Amino acid sequence: MRNYKIAVIPGDGIGKEVVPVTMDVLNHAAECFQDAAFTFTEFPWGCDYYLEHGKMMDDDGIEQLEEFDAILLGAVGDPERVPDHISLWGLLIKIRRSMEQSLNIRPAKFFKGLASPLADPRDFDIMVVRENSEGEYSEAGGRIHRGQDELAIQNAVFTRKASERAIRYGYQLAGERKGKLTSATKSNGIVHSMPFWDEIFKEVSQEFPNVEATQQHIDALAAFMVSKPHEFDVIVASNLFGDILTDLGGAIMGSIGIAPAANLNTNGDHPSMFEPVHGSAPDIYGQGIANPLGQIWTAKMMLDHLGEFKMGESILDAIESTTAAGIKTQDIGGDSSTVEVAREVCDRIKFKE
Ligand code: NAI
Ligand code: MG
């Protein structure tokens, strides 16, 4: 029996609704498969905790998390009561940075029963590997000459280490999927960092002769994702490009409420963290109508990370068969509640050899 120790941080808003039902789904899957079990340890960190204790998490919170196999997080943010820069930086970003979760992995895929804005979204099934530690999102730069002649300089930072790490992960993942990797570039306009990125992309390709590698300028790539979405498999991108492409992927799927994400630590020194793309949705919190599928799919990514592929696959199949049967929350055109959708997913999980 494999036993996994999972740290659970429901966080704020609908995180407190979608995380508990996701634990039910995981427990149900474990019962079906009978060879793995989960021990969940819940942490009450978030904005309520901040208002009571003056901090988003315990001072030794990071050390407390170190002993777990993975972290499952809901969402952070209660902007009416705690400013976002305090809540997000005090918990979510603190964990990502301290635990060197340097890659952000976001799949997007068409499910039967979802309404995509594209006419023909069939066979849309991609995985975006986004560099998550540097790139265009850097603090290097500044503003001078305040006033009329003011100027701002924003430096993008590309290190060989981080670029190679993201690109190599992209090749590995493509090798495990359809064997196609696309690199998002813009070396025709960004003349230092992007040619560097392209060079590394080419170098690492030598290690993966079986992966078909292509590079595409980000503007054309965005257009192709709309005009021929089925042609992509894995896309590797810098921080900014990956951020934009994953929102586009979510839009093609039909709702932010179903999009999952993983923050991966690749050196094995710290646990990885799994959290859906959506936030705490204060506008619908407390009504029992939040879509739990993003959180449940996120749990599936956690299972893949732990090596429980069959169990993960059975959860994804159960999600798809639930939407195909029309059992959906309001955001994707149904009238079922959070709990009803999750219960339906549980009922549809089947053991796989
Ligand atoms: P949001 O993702 O919470 O909500 C955007 C819109 O999508 C809302 O209309 C919401 O009702 C809807 N929505 C989101 N998830 C849904 C679900 N599962 N089912 C049905 N509808 C869903 O983004 P917003 O409103 O910009 O941010 C709210 C708070 O969440 C802020 O404090 C923000 O900083 C935080 N946030 C946290 C994130 C995280 O923890 N990773 C990510 C994004 C935002
Ligand atoms: Mg974004």
Task: Give the residue extent of every domain in the chain.
Answer: 1-102+257-353, 116-253
Q: Is the pLDDT of residue 338 over 90?
A: yes
CA distance 346 to 24: 8
Ligand at minimal distance from the CA of 332 is 1
Q: Is the pLDDT of residue 58 over 90?
A: yes
Burial call 169-187: b when 16+ CB within 10 Å, e when fewer: bbbbbbeeeeebbbbbbbb
The model's pLDDT over 171-195, given as tens digits with 9 standing for 90+, comes to 999 999 999 999 999 999 999 999 9
The model's pLDDT over 271-323, given as tens digits with 9 standing for 90+, comes to 999 999 999 999 999 999 999 999 999 999 999 999 999 999 999 999 999 99
DSSP state for residue 148 in the 8-state scheme: T
**pLDDT recorded at residue 167:** 98
Ligand 1 centroid from CA 123, angstroms: 27
Ligand 2 centroid from CA 351, angstroms: 35
CA distance 42 to 238: 33
Q: Is the CB of 79 under 6 A from ligand 1?
A: yes
- What residue spans of the chain are helical by DSSP H? 15-33, 47-53, 61-66, 84-87, 93-98, 160-176, 193-205, 218-227, 239-253, 293-306, 309-324, 338-348
List 36's β-bridge partners, or say none.
2
Q: 261 burial class (0-12, 13-18, 19+ CB within 10 angstroms)? A: buried
The model's pLDDT over 14-38, given as tens digits with 9 standing for 90+, comes to 999 999 999 999 999 999 999 999 9
The model's pLDDT over 71-118, given as tens digits with 9 standing for 90+, comes to 999 999 999 999 999 999 999 989 998 999 999 999 999 988 888 899
Q: Is the CB of 281 under 6 A from ligand 1?
A: yes
Nearest to 62 by CA among 99, 89, 88: 99
Please list, in sequence order, all residues whose beta carbon lies within 8 angstroms of the beta carbon of residue 251, skipping any fewer than 6 positions away. 117
**pLDDT recorded at residue 102:** 95
Q: Is the pLDDT of residue 135 over 90?
A: yes
Q: Is the pLDDT of residue 122 over 90?
A: no
Residue length, the chain? 353
Q: Dihedral of the CA atoms 116, 119, 125, 128 (nearest 10)?
A: -70
**pLDDT recorded at residue 320:** 94
For ligand 1, mutation pick of 256, 275, 296 (most atoms within 8 Å of CB) = 256
Tokens of 150: 């003011």
Task: Please report which confidence band the pLDDT of residue 220 belongs to, taking 50, 70 and 90 as the band edges.
Answer: very high
Q: Is the CB of 278 under 6 A from ligand 1?
A: yes
Q: Is the pLDDT of residue 138 over 90?
A: no
**pLDDT recorded at residue 10:** 98
Ligand 1 atom closest to the CA of 77, numbered from 1? 32
Ligand 1 centroid from CA 45, angstroms: 18
132: left (phi over 0), alpha (psi -120 to 50) or beta: alpha
- Mean model confidence pLDDT for the chain: 96
Distances (CA, A) of 287 to 14, 16, 44: 9, 12, 21
Distances (CA, A) of 237 to 149, 154, 185, 330: 35, 19, 7, 32
**pLDDT recorded at residue 212:** 98
Task: Please report which confidence band the pLDDT of residue 119 belongs to, taking 50, 70 and 90 as the band edges.
Answer: confident
Ligand 1 centroid from CA 74, angstroms: 11
Q: Is the pLDDT of residue 164 over 90?
A: yes
Give me Rg for the CA atoms of the chain: 20
Ligand 1 atom closest to the CA of 275, numbered from 1? 41
Would the CATH topology of 1-102+257-353 be identical to that of 116-253?
yes
CA distance 345 to 222: 33
Q: Is the CB of 12 under 6 A from ligand 1?
A: no
Q: Is the CB of 91 under 6 A from ligand 1?
A: no
**pLDDT recorded at residue 352:** 82
DSSP readout, 79-141? TTTB-HHHHIIIIIHHHHHHTT--EEEEEEE--TT---SSS--TT-EEEEEEE-SSBTS---E
**pLDDT recorded at residue 115:** 87
Q: Is the CB of 271 under 6 A from ligand 1?
A: no
For ligand 1, mutation pick of 278, 291, 293, 319 (most atoms within 8 Å of CB) = 278
Tokens of 83: 């400013």
**pLDDT recorded at residue 139:** 83
Q: Domain 1-102+257-353: which CATH class? A: alpha beta
Ligand at minimal distance from the CA of 280 is 1
Q: 140 burial class (0-12, 13-18, 19+ CB within 10 angstroms)? A: exposed
- According to the CATH classification, is domain 116-253 in 3.40.718.10? yes
pTM for this predicted structure: 0.92
The structure tokens 């009329």 sit at: 148
Ligand 2 centroid from CA 63, angstroms: 28
For ligand 1, atom 33, the nearest C-alpha belongs to: 77
Q: Is the pLDDT of residue 162 over 90?
A: yes
* Residue 127 vs residue 255, higher pLDDT: 127
**Element (DSSP H or E) covering residue 142:** strand 141-144
The answer to whether 287 touches 146, Cβ cutoff 8 Å, is: no
**pLDDT recorded at residue 26:** 98
Task: Please report which confidence band the pLDDT of residue 247 belongs to, taking 50, 70 and 90 as the band edges.
Answer: confident
Q: Is the CB of 331 under 6 A from ligand 1?
A: yes
Average pLDDT over residues 149-154: 95
Q: Is the CB of 250 under 6 A from ligand 1?
A: no
In percent, how much of the chain has pLDDT > 90? 90
**pLDDT recorded at residue 254:** 87
In percent, how much of the chain has pLDDT > 70? 100
Average pLDDT over residues 49-71: 98
Tokens of 19: 């995380």
Least confident of 62-66, 108-112, 339-343: 108-112
Tokens of 21: 């039902």
- Kindly report the CA angle at 244 between 289 and 220, in degrees rounded to 5? 130
Q: Is the CB of 273 under 6 A from ligand 1?
A: no
**pLDDT recorded at residue 225:** 95
Ligand 1 centroid from CA 227, angstroms: 28
